[in-house]
Structure 1
C-alpha cells in the first residue's frame, strides 16, 4: 500500500514498523529518522510531527480502499454497502495491525488526526454511495466515525482469520446506526416542512411576480476551497 519509492512512503513505513515493535509513546522523531535512514532535518521537511505521519498514513489507507472499493450494482441496501467498504478497509489495515494496537493503546489526541478521521469516514460513505451533504450528511459522517471507532477495537482484538467477531460487531452497530439515522431523517424532514410553512405564513416565500435578486458580484480573488 505504501509507496516506498518516495521519501514520504519510506518515512510512513518506518514509523509503522517502529510502532509495531514498541509502545507508540516511546517512538521518537529521532527514531523515525534513523529507521528511514535520513536526518532529522529531512524528516522535518516532510512531516512536522508523529500526528502528521499518522494523518498521511490514514490518507494512504483511504486511497487504497477507494482504489479497490467493491463495485456495487445498486441492488444492495445501504447497510450492506457500508459493511463491505468497512471490511475492505480492515483488509487494507491488516498488515499494520500490531502497529495500530500500539497506537490505539496510546490514544493519541490531536485535532489533525480528528479531522483526518472524519474525512476518512466521509470518503468511506462516498465509496458506499451515501450522501454526506447537509445536516443529515454531517450526522451520517459523525455516526460512521463512532461506529468505525467502536468496531475497530473489536477488530484489533479479533485473531480469527475470518474476522467473525468483527463482522458481527459491525453488523450490530450498523443496524443500530441505521435506526438512529432513520429517526434523525424524520426529524430533519419535519423541520424542513415546518420551516417552509412558516416562511409562507410570514410571506417570505418567493411569489410568481417577484423579480429575481441580482446575482452577487464575483470577487476578484479566487476563493480557496476546503481541503
Structure 2
C-alpha cells in the first residue's frame, strides 16, 4: 500500500494520516481556502447556513468543522452548535479563536454522541476525506432525531463540459502552485485536488445517501456544480 509523505495523505484515506495532514495546515487553513477558491468559500458557507435553516433551540452537529469557521454563524444566532473534527490541530486553532464554542474531537465513522442527539447534522468539505463514507452517513442518521435533517456541502462535478475542463486543469495544475504561496502545508493541496477528481458526481452521492437510510434526498448545484449541497431527512422511527 502506498504510504503518506510527512505532509500529505493518500486516497486510501487512512484516518490518522488525514488527521495528521489537517493538523499541518490548521494555522493558515481558512486563509488558504479563501485564496484558492477566489473568495467563493464564503458564498458556499452562507448557502449551507441557509440550507440548514437552524433556529434558536435547535441543536446542530457541524462535523468536520475544522477551526469552527462554519460553526460560528449558528452560535452567533443562538443556535446550539457542536463543532466536531478529528484533527486536534484544527480543534486547537479553533478553540484559540472561539473558546466559547464546544469543540469536540470526533471521528465521523464513530461519533461520540448518543442516538437522536441533534436536529441537524451538517458537513462541509469533509465527507470526501472519510475512509468509509457509507459508515459516516449511517452514523449521521443515528445521531439525528426522527425528522431531523442532513446537509452536506462538498466539491462535485461541474455540469458544463467546457467549464469542467477548465476546472480540472485548475485543480491539477494551478491549485498546487497557488497553495505553495499561501499554505503552511502546500503538499496537502495536491491530495485535495486528487480527492476532488476522484469524488462521485451529484447523482451518485445522492444514491449513497439514500442507501444509508436517509429519505427525501435532493441536491442543488452551486457555482455551476463545482460544489453541490445535498439535503436529506431522517424518517420517523
For the pair shown, which has the larger CA radius of gyration, 1 or 2?
1
Q: Which structure has the highest strand share of the two?
A: 2
Q: Which structure has the highest helix share of the two?
A: 1
Higher RCO structure (Cα 8 Å, ≥6 apart): 2
User: What is the TM-score of this pair, normalised by structure 2?
Assistant: 0.23
